[in-house]
Amino acid sequence: MNILSLVFDMSCLLCGTSDSFSEKYGLCRKCAFPLLFHEEKGEKCHVCGHPLISEFEICMRCRNEDYNFGKNHYFWDYEGTAKTVIGLYKFKGQRRIGRFLALVVYRYLRRKGLRNVLLVPAPCSPARLKKTGYNHMEAVCRALKGIYGIPFAAVLRRRRGRQLKKLNRQERKEELVDKLYMTAGDARNFRVLCQDKNVFLLDDIFTTGSTASACAGILKENGCEKPDIITFAID
């Protein structure tokens, strides 16, 4: 490693500034704090979190869906800096941001007084794993465990399949049910681990809720009543 890359490695991935925060989290204070302290305003759907447009409590889409999860907790809209930061982490291999994302989750859990939590990272596709070399939501869970002691169970797996982006809503659902699974050993462990725990599935982006619902469905089949979802951004 040369000096330049060392210096580079400590500076903010968005603006290039170095401070103690950027060393640790990949973002300087000035860039990180608006995300860290952001609070969503306005009327939101109680289930998915999308803004309500002349609807009461629950949006039209959620009224017509029977999700396997209870509620989606999320932090940002998928735009601007939030979108850039998630993209750097998910697509550009900027793993330092994983610690920042862990901090965001930890603050949220504390602020909401959520205790006795068990996190389950959404599995990434084999294609993405091959491309970036790391399972990005599992890495956030590892940081949450390592730094804050919050346990997780990486029990969901995904088989190789078609790219979800290219499928319509119905095809997406079928593809997910087909491709997501838990091994028998993981299922046995999970049944024990999830007892009396507040189980949250952790995923990056919430779009239609079909991925989250398919993942939650498998957790339900294996002993967890109705997990909630935590996502970083809603699209």
Quote the strand ranges of 65-190, DSSP E.
72-77, 117-121, 157-158, 180-181
Q: How far is the CB of 81 from Zn ion (least distance, A)?
A: 10
- Of the candidate spans 15-23, 159-167, 197-205, 210-218, the one that interacts with Zn ion by CB under 5 A turns out to be 15-23
Q: How far is the CB of 62 from Zn ion (least distance, A)?
A: 3
Q: How far is the CB of 58 from Zn ion (least distance, A)?
A: 6
Copy the structure tokens of residue 78: 């998928």
Binding mask 43-62 for Zn ion (x = CB under 5 A): --x-xx----------x--x
DSSP string across 89-125 = HHTS--TTHHHHHHHHHHHHHHHTT--SEEEEEPPPP
Q: How far is the CB of 156 from Zn ion (least distance, A)?
A: 23
Q: Please, which residues have CB within 8 angstroms of residue 37's CB and are 6 or more apart in sequence?
A: none
- Of the candidate spans 23-31, 80-88, 130-138, 159-167, the one that interacts with Zn ion by CB under 5 A turns out to be 23-31
- Of the candidate spans 31-39, 113-121, 175-183, 221-229, the one that interacts with Zn ion by CB under 5 A turns out to be 31-39
- By CB under 5 A, residue 193 contacts Zn ion: no
Binding mask 61-80 for Zn ion (x = CB under 5 A): -x------------------
Residues contacting Zn ion: total by CB under 5 A: 11
3-state secondary structure of 44: strand
What DSSP state is assigned to residue 223? T
Decide: residue 223, CB within 10 A, 0-12 exposed, 13-18 middle, 19+ buried: middle
- By CB under 5 A, residue 85 contacts Zn ion: no
User: How far is it, in rounded angstroms, from Cα 32 to Cα 171?
Assistant: 37
Binding residues vs Zn ion (CB under 5 A): 12, 14-15, 17, 28, 31, 45, 47-48, 59, 62
